[in-house]
C-alpha cells in the first residue's frame, strides 16, 4: 500500500522544488490523490490530508446565495487578539479593530453578517452573500460602495472619504471593471481577503514586525440547511464559553450574541429613554435573526438604513428563543451545571428531531465534524463540487448524529 503513495509524493516534491510553487504542485497531483482508495488514504499523514482541502470555488459559487462559516487563526496559535502569555502583552484592543471592520464591511458589501465571535487567537464569522441584492444596485452605488471599502483617500483618522465623481467614473464608465466590482461585492472571498489583510497589516505595523500574521488561508464551510445554520450559529456564539473566557452569554464580549442581547435590552429600557438621534443600536450591522417564510416579504429585501446589506433574517425563531437555546446548550455542555436531560427542551430541538445529547455534541464539536459542507448527510451525499464534480466526504459521527431514521 505504501508503495502506491510514494510516486505521488515524489511527484509533488519534484514539482515543488522546480519553478512550480507548492500549491500548483498540489493541484497537479490532486487527481492522483483522489484516485487512491479510502483504505489507502487513511494511511496518509494528517499534514497531507490538511493540504488536500478542496478549493473554495469547488464549494462556494459567489453568483448564488450561500450561507458560509468562515474562520481564521493567528500564526503559531499565539494570542495576538488577547492576553499573550508568551510576551505578557495584551492585544484585546485588536478585537475592537475587527468589530469596527465588520461594521464597515457589513454596511458596504453585498453580504449579510449573521454571526461572529472574536477570541484571543482566532475569529469566526457566518456570512450570507447576496448577489440578488447587488443586482438591484445602480452603477453609481456599486462604485461608491467599493470605493468606501477600498478608498483612494482617507481622513486624518484613517477613515475613508466619500469618493469624488472622477473616482466613481473610473469604475462606472468601464463596463469590465464595473462587472468585476459588482461580482466582488457579493464574494465572501473578497470580504475575508480584505479583512485578514487589514488585520495583519495593522497588527504588524503596531508590532513593528513583518511576515505572516495568520497560520494559513481562511477556512470555509458551506451551511446548506436549517439545522446546520442553527448549530453553527450556536457553535460560534458559545465559543467564548467553551474556551473558558467567560461563564455566561451575557458576560461574553466581541460576539454577535452579546450585541443582540444589548440591542434587546436597549429596546426594552423604558426609564429615561435617550433621544432617538443619540441612540445607537449595537446590532444594527448584523442581519436580523428572525425570518418567517410565510409572512415576511419575498425578494432581496435590501436595507435602506446604510448599516447592513438586507433586512432578511436567517433563523425560523425569535431572538428570545435563540438566546434561550444558547443558554440551554451552554448549561447542558457545562459539566458542573449538567444534570439529567430536562423535559422542557427548547422547541427548535424538538422541531429538528435531534436528541438533546446529540445536539450538544453537534454544537460543541461542529468544527471537528464538518470540513467543506455542513448539513444533512443524505443531502451532502447527493452534492458534487462545482468544477471537478467530486463527492463531499461526511464524517461517520455526523451520520449518527443527524440520521433521519426513526
Pick the last residue of a domain from 51, 68, 90.
51
Judge if 39 and 93 occupy the same domain: no
Residues 339 and 299 in one domain: yes
Model confidence at 187, pLDDT cuts 50, 70, 90, reads: very high
Q: In the structure grid, which three cell numbers stand for residue 328, read together?
A: 440551554
Sign of CA dihedral 219, 251, 259, 348: positive
Residues 119 and 13 in one domain: no
pLDDT score at 45? 47
Relative to beta strand 111-118, strand 219-223 is unpaired
Tell whether 8 and 110 lie within a shared domain: no
* pLDDT per residue as tens digits for the range 261-314: 999 999 887 555 555 545 789 999 999 999 887 777 778 899 999 999 999 999
User: Looking at residues 93-111, what average pLDDT do you find?
Assistant: 98
**DSSP strand E in 195-275: where?**
219-223
Of the two residues 386 and 366, the one the predictor is more confident about is 366
Name the grid cell of 338.
Answer: 449538567
Tell me whether residue 66 is in a domain.
yes
Tell me, yes or no, whether 310 and 348 share the same domain: yes
Same domain, 43 and 77: no
Cell matching residue 77: 496559535
Within a domain: residue 85? yes
The cell numbers describing 255, all together, are 460576539
Whole-number Å distance between alpha carbons of 354 and 390: 29
With 60 as the cut, is the pLDDT of residue 49 above it? no
Would you say residue 60 lies in a domain? yes
Of the ranges 30-34, 345-349, 365-369, which is most confident? 365-369
pLDDT greater at residue 114 or residue 7: 114
Question: What global pTM score does this model have?
Answer: 0.84
Listed residue (264, 259, 293, 299) closest to 115, CA to CA: 259
Per-residue pLDDT, averaged over 108-121, amounts to: 98
Is residue 185 within 8 Å of residue 110, measured between CB atoms?
A: yes
Over residues 147-176, mean pLDDT: 95
Selection from 232, 265, 271 nearest residue 250 by Cα: 265
**pLDDT score at 368:** 95
Classify residue 289: in a domain, yes or no.
yes
Mean pLDDT of the 155-165 span = 93
Judged against a pLDDT cut of 90, whether residue 5 lies above it is answered with: no
With respect to residue 225, please indicate whether it lies within any of the assigned structural domains: yes
Instruction: Classify the C-alpha dihedral 34-39-42-44 as positive or negative.
Output: negative
* CA separation for the pair 139, 141 (Å, rounded): 5
Question: Quick one: pLDDT band at residue 42, thresholds 50, 70, 90?
Answer: very low
Burial of 369 (0-12, 13-18, 19+ CB in 10 A): buried
For residue 395, being part of any structural domain is answered with: yes
pLDDT at residue 77, rounded to an integer = 76
Residue whose C-alpha is closest to residue 182's, from 146, 129, 128: 146
Rounded Cα–Cα distance for residues 262 and 36 (Å): 52
The last residue of one of the domains, among 12, 28, 51, is: 51
222 and 314 both lie in a single domain: yes
- Domain CATH number, residue 219: 3.30.70.1290
Residues 230 and 283 in one domain: yes
Q: Name the least confident of 5-14, 120-129, 160-169, 268-277.
A: 5-14
232-235: long-range contacts, CB 8 A cutoff, minimum separation 24:
232/69, 232/115, 232/126, 232/366, 232/374, 233/114, 233/115, 233/126, 233/315, 233/322, 234/325, 234/326, 234/329, 234/363, 235/124, 235/363, 235/364, 235/366, 235/367
- Tell me what the mean pLDDT of segment 106-131 comes to: 98
Considering the domain architecture, whether residues 62 and 25 belong to the same structural domain is answered as no
- Structural domain count, the chain: 2
Q: Which domain holds residue 94?
A: 56-130+186-268+279-401
Closest CA to 109 of 232, 194, 36: 194
Strand ranges for 119-269 from DSSP E: 122-129, 219-223
Domain membership of residue 10 (yes or no) is yes
- What does the alpha-carbon distance between residue 192 and residue 9 come to, in Å, rounded to a whole number? 31
Kindly state whether residues 72 and 215 are assigned to the same domain.
Answer: yes
Q: What is the pLDDT averaged over residues 134-140?
A: 98
Residues 319 and 264 in one domain: yes
Amino acid at each position: 500500500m505504501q508503495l502506491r503513495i510514494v510516486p505521488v509524493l515524489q511527484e509533488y516534491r519534484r514539482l515543488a522544488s522546480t519553478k512550480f510553487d507548492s500549491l500548483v504542485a498540489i493541484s497537479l497531483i490532486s487527481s492522483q490523490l483522489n484516485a487512491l482508495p479510502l483504505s489507502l488514504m487513511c494511511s496518509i499523514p494528517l499534514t497531507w490530508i490538511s493540504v488536500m482541502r478542496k478549493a473554495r470555488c469547488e464549494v462556494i459559487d459567489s453568483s448564488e446565495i450561500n450561507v458560509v462559516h468562515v474562520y481564521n487563526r493567528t500564526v503559531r496559535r499565539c494570542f495576538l487578539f488577547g492576553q499573550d502569555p508568551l510576551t505578557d502583552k495584551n492585544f484585546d484592543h485588536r478585537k475592537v479593530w475587527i468589530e469596527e471592520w465588520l461594521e464597515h464591511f457589513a454596511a458596504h458589501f453585498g453580504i449579510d453578517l449573521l454571526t461572529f465571535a472574536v477570541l484571543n487567537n482566532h475569529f469566526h464569522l457566518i456570512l450570507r452573500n447576496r448577489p440578488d441584492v447587488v443586482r438591484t444596485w445602480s452603477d453609481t452605488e456599486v462604485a461608491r460602495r467599493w470605493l468606501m471599502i477600498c478608498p483612494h483617500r482617507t481622513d486624518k483618522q484613517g477613515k475613508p472619504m466619500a469618493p469624488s465623481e472622477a473616482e466613481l467614473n473610473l469604475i462606472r464608465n468601464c463596463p469590465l471593471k464595473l462587472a468585476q466590482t459588482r461580482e466582488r461585492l457579493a464574494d465572501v472571498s473578497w470580504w475575508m481577503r480584505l479583512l485578514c489583510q487589514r488585520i495583519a497589516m495593522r497588527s504588524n505595523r503596531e508590532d513593528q514586525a513583518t511576515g505572516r500574521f495568520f497560520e494559513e488561508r481562511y477556512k470555509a464551510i458551506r451551511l446548506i440547511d436549517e439545522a446546520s445554520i442553527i448549530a453553527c450559529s450556536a457553535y460560534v456564539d458559545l465559543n467564548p464559553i467553551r474556551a473558558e473566557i467567560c461563564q455566561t452569554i451575557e458576560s461574553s464580549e466581541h460576539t454577535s450574541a452579546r450585541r443582540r442581547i444589548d440591542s434587546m435590552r436597549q429596546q426594552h429600557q423604558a426609564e429615561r429613554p435617550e433621544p432617538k438621534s443619540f441612540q445607537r443600536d449595537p446590532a444594527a450591522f448584523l442581519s436580523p435573526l428572525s425570518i418567517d417564510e410565510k409572512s415576511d416579504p419575498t425578494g432581496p429585501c435590501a436595507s435602506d438604513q446604510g448599516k447592513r446589506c438586507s433586512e432578511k433574517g436567517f433563523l425560523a425563531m425569535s431572538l428570545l428563543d435563540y438566546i434561550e437555546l444558547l443558554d440551554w446548550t451552554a448549561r447542558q455542555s457545562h459539566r458542573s451545571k449538567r444534570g439529567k436531560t430536562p423535559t422542557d427542551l427548547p422547541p427548535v430541538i424538538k422541531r429538528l428531531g435531534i436528541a438533546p445529547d446529540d445536539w450538544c455534541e453537534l454544537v460543541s464539536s461542529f468544527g471537528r465534524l464538518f470540513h467543506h459542507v455542513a448539513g444533512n448527510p443524505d443531502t451532502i451525499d447527493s452534492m458534487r463540487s462545482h468544477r471537478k464534480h467530486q463527492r463531499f466526504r461526511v464524517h461517520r459521527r455526523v451520520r449518527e448524529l443527524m440520521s433521519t431514521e426513526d
